Structure 1
Amino acid sequence: MTHTFDKDYWQHHWDDRTSHTVAANPYLVEETAGSTPGSVLDAGCGTGAEAIWLAERGWQVTGADISATALDAAAKQAESARVDATWIEADLTTWNPTERWDLVMTHYAHPSIPQLDFYRHIAQWVAPGGSLLIVGHLHHGAQHHSHDGEPPHEATVTVKDITALFDASSWRIDTALERSRTVGGIGVHSKTLRDAVVRATRLI
């Protein structure tokens, strides 16, 4: 099945998920350990778990998403956490902000354009000396078939393909990992996520 990942898809996706409390992605925790807080854009922020986690630690946070439903939930959760954040409704595939951020991050965002084109697009928003953190669903090759609860083929990537986006004269690859983690509870209520994790720093 082919997914369009357009505005209607994401509005429907978040309709029955905004009441769920989700912890910040553990890769974000690892990759920002010891970092000096600065400005951050969460591209495809959903209900804001990662953005709020960083705001609680002194980062100046902007969260952008195509879904107004998700952003409304994010704003309410930020208010409950007593942190400040800016929430922007935008189609990130066409959005061209003039601002640049010290950290641009995206966690499992699936756009209506090819996944790698999306990463290339949001990389433009990283300030010199800043970093891009990508957490995506790992592609397992042509022989892998999606099952219920697994991401569709067009939403998956490989670490090799992500790192190939970055010219060595302009970027330094700091992290390039394939990881697996279990989420969602115990036994039949859990599932294994197979992740591609890449962090790159803009040199110029």
Structure 2
Amino acid sequence: MTDTVANAEEFWEDFYRERPQIWTGNPNPLLVREVSGSAPGTALDLGCGEGADAIWLAERGWRVTAVDISATAMERGAQRAAEAGVSIVWERHDLQASFPAGSFDLVSAQFLHSPVELPDERAAILRSAAAAVAPGGVLVVGSHAAAPSWASHAMHAHVFPTIEQVLAQLALGPQWQVETAELVHTPSTSPEGVPGERADSVLRLRRG
């Protein structure tokens, strides 16, 4: 195991152990928007965190494999899935080092941003995500497009990928169809209660 991988595991374990619950427990709105109404099949949730997206999908009939680097996050997800009465396959991976096997009708990569990722590693992970999509299946990628309006100067200095850059990183072949490529502005409130907004991008890509 490299120092980078070890540091990533340590970072995310510390992140989740700070509080008994980090996220709201609600599914990502962009995923909900892009997947609602789709016929369920097999789904891969990359960077599942505490499992809200995976549980939402499973409740709608998807057969879900949920992946995260943090054992703590997945333990919380498994507990909440049991409380919700749904079955999910949980796999721990550092996606910089390993990737789940198989192909899936839906691959979801929601906000795979990390301060401890290797240079260009996100692009490699997204290409692996695309490779895991079965023919006729869909890849949904949600990305931060900018820091929230209330964020610090240091956060605003961070450069997030544009839709065009994400598509270029994916390097998809002609069998792929872009069904959604959109910049979405949503309200966002700081931990201190300062109102504002944030910009995210969403891609829904179908493999022919």
Q: Which residue number in structure 1 is paired with residue 66 of structure 2?
A: 63
Matched, 1:126 2:130: no
Aligned length, in residue pairs: 196
Q: Percent identity?
A: 35
Native 8 Å contact 1:137 1:151 kept in 2? no
In structure 2, distance between residues paired with 1:109 and 1:186: 21
Deviations 1:126-181 (A, max 9, x none): 111111100011158xxx9x627958736x21101112224351211111011111
Q: Which residue number in structure 2 is paired with residue 157 of structure 1?
A: 161
In structure 2, distance between residues paired with 1:75 and 1:117: 28
Matched, 1:49 2:88: no
In structure 1, distance between residues paired with 2:157 and 2:67: 23
Please provide the CA RMSD for this pair.
Answer: 2.8
Structure 1 spans left out of the alignment, 5+ residues: none
TM-score (norm 1): 0.84
Partner-residue secondary structure (3-state), 1:157: coil
In structure 2, distance between residues paired with 1:152 and 1:128: 39
Partner-residue secondary structure (3-state), 2:180: strand
Q: Which residue number in structure 2 is paired with residue 80 of structure 1?
A: 83
Match among 163, 177, 181 for residue 176 of structure 1: 181
Partner-residue secondary structure (3-state), 1:83: coil
Q: Which residue number in structure 1 is paired with residue 206 of structure 2?
A: 201
Native 8 Å contact 1:135 1:197 kept in 2? yes
Native 8 Å contact 1:163 1:176 kept in 2? no
Deviations 1:41-86 (A, max 9, x none): 0000000111100111111011000000100010011011111101
Q: Which residue number in structure 1 is paired with residue 42 of structure 2?
A: 39
In structure 2, distance between residues paired with 1:152 and 1:133: 26
Answer 1 or 2: which has greater helix percent. Answer: 2
Native 8 Å contact 2:43 2:105 kept in 1? yes
Partner-residue secondary structure (3-state), 1:22: coil
Structure 2 spans left out of the alignment, 5+ residues: none
Q: Which residue number in structure 2 is paired with residue 11 of structure 1?
A: 13
Q: Moved runs in structure 1, 4+ residues, more than 6 A?
A: none
Distance 1:45 1:16, change over 3 A: same
Larger displacement relative to structure 2 (40-49 or 29-38): 29-38
In structure 1, distance between residues paired with 2:143 and 2:96: 16
1:17 shift after superposition: 4.1
In structure 1, distance between residues paired with 2:43 and 2:157: 28
In structure 2, distance between residues paired with 1:52 and 1:119: 22
In structure 2, distance between residues paired with 1:46 and 1:151: 24
In structure 1, distance between residues paired with 2:156 and 2:141: 16
